[in-house]
Amino acid sequence: MLRHILALAIKEFLALLRDPRSRFVLIGPPIMQLIIFGYAASFDLDHLPVAVYDEDGGSAARELVSRIQGSPHFDITAHVSREEQIASLVDNKEALLVLHIEPRFTTHLAQGGSGSLQVILDGRNSNTALLALNYLRTIVLDFNQRLAAARGSSGPPVRLSMRAWYNEDLDSHWFIIPGIVGLLTLVVTLVVTALSVAREREQGTFDQLLVTPLRPTAILVGKSIPGLVIGVIEASFIIAVAMLWFEVPLRGSVGALYLGLLLFLFSAVGVGLMISAISVTQQQAVLGAFLFLVPAVILSGFATPIANMPEAVQTLTYLDPLRYFLVIVRGVFLEGDGYALLQDQYWPMAVIGVVSLAAAGWLFRHRMY
């Protein structure tokens, strides 16, 4: 029996490698998506357009403006001379932020008082506006501390000392790229397994497969092996790129990561075979795979926190294997997690894999046509 299963698995590998479309699915999209996500997907904002309305022109105002110009987050694209110019800059999206410095800003600071700054933000994209405001607030805070030190004062009575754990530079790539390991592995594994049985039906070899000595369960096992092997290879390649090219640290246990990966692939293969068992053509299989992929990615917490979702939607996320693997891969990469801390993420993927494979076997037996 094992020899027959191995022969079927080798047959599946050969079918994948000989089919130009399958080869493209295995090689092209993962590399393209890794490059696109790695460089284009970022929560950091740089070179935001800023306009300055400086009614003071004094030394303190010029120093503050130079600090903003020297920040990688801002580009001063316009200097406003009249208040009437502000509205058109914001309306036409030529400036995300307008900084208005009062006429006696430098004088008030020189006299030991406080100067006033007005910030006008384009609030159409609230997330971008809040990030820009936080960047500007950091610059102004640093400016205040330098000014207090120059006066010989002790500064404000309360000092805020910030320290970011696990991601010291708050680089969003450290959050996104480990998630890409799960995302791209799920895409490739799901498509490969979803096409397996559907390809047999479309090519007319399904009946030949049924007259072999293999039972339906053994056929499903043989067809699941290529998906597992290809998933491990794809994930290992992406992990290597994340560490060597994007320089994301891998701080935890490699064994804990690969145990989670195998359980994740086990559940993904089960879902893929379930889709393949009900698909008559390869086109139906691909559509079914992407019908599962889109909600799986949205509900996984890849980009948006699960805690921010409605309670009913949060309940649905427990059926998503990608949700658990993202916790594992980010925990191992950034937090240094090991087996003990990830036990609660392992068993749900095993349950999803067992249930989906059982459903795939039932569908396979009842749709033998």
DSSP assignment of 186-240: HHHHHHHHHHHHHHHHHHT-HHHHHTSS--HHHHHHHHHHHHHHHHHHHHHHHHH
Higher pLDDT, 7 or 79: 79
- Per-residue confidence (pLDDT) for residue 213, from 0 to 100: 67
> Given pLDDT bands bounded at 50, 70 and 90, which one contains residue 146?
confident
- Per-residue confidence (pLDDT) for residue 209, from 0 to 100: 64
Q: Region 5-34: what's the mean pLDDT?
A: 66
Residue ranges, CATH 3.40.1710.10, the chain: 48-151
Q: What is the pTM of this model?
A: 0.72
Domain with residues 48-151, CATH architecture: 3-Layer(aba) Sandwich (3.40)
Please check the confidence at residue 161 and state whether its pLDDT lies above 60.
no
Please check the confidence at residue 369 and state whether its pLDDT lies above 50.
no
Q: Residue 240's closest CA among 38, 41, 39, 22? A: 38
Q: What percent of the chain has pLDDT over 70?
A: 78
- Per-residue confidence (pLDDT) for residue 21, from 0 to 100: 63
Start-end of H helices in 41-120: 59-70, 85-91, 105-110
> Given pLDDT bands bounded at 50, 70 and 90, which one contains residue 354?
very high
Give the pairing of strands 97-101 and 74-79: unpaired
Please check the confidence at residue 345 and state whether its pLDDT lies above 90.
yes
Contact 87, 63 (CB under 8 A): no
Q: What percent of the chain has pLDDT over 90?
A: 22
Residue 275 CA to residue 323 CA, distance in Å, equals 20
- Per-residue confidence (pLDDT) for residue 204, from 0 to 100: 65
Give the pairing of strands 74-79 and 117-121: unpaired
- Per-residue confidence (pLDDT) for residue 59, from 0 to 100: 87
Q: What phi and psi, each to the nearest 5 degrees, are found at residue 168?
A: -60, -35
> Given pLDDT bands bounded at 50, 70 and 90, which one contains residue 157?
very low
Q: 21-70, pLDDT tens digit by residue?
A: 666 666 666 667 667 666 655 566 778 899 999 988 888 889 989 999 98
Task: List CB contacts of 302: < 8 A, sequence separation 6 or more.
Answer: 179, 182, 183, 322, 326
- Per-residue confidence (pLDDT) for residue 44, from 0 to 100: 64
Higher pLDDT, 221 or 164: 221
Taking all residues of the chain, what is their mean pLDDT, rounded to a whole number? Answer: 81
Segment (H or E) for 145: helix 126-151
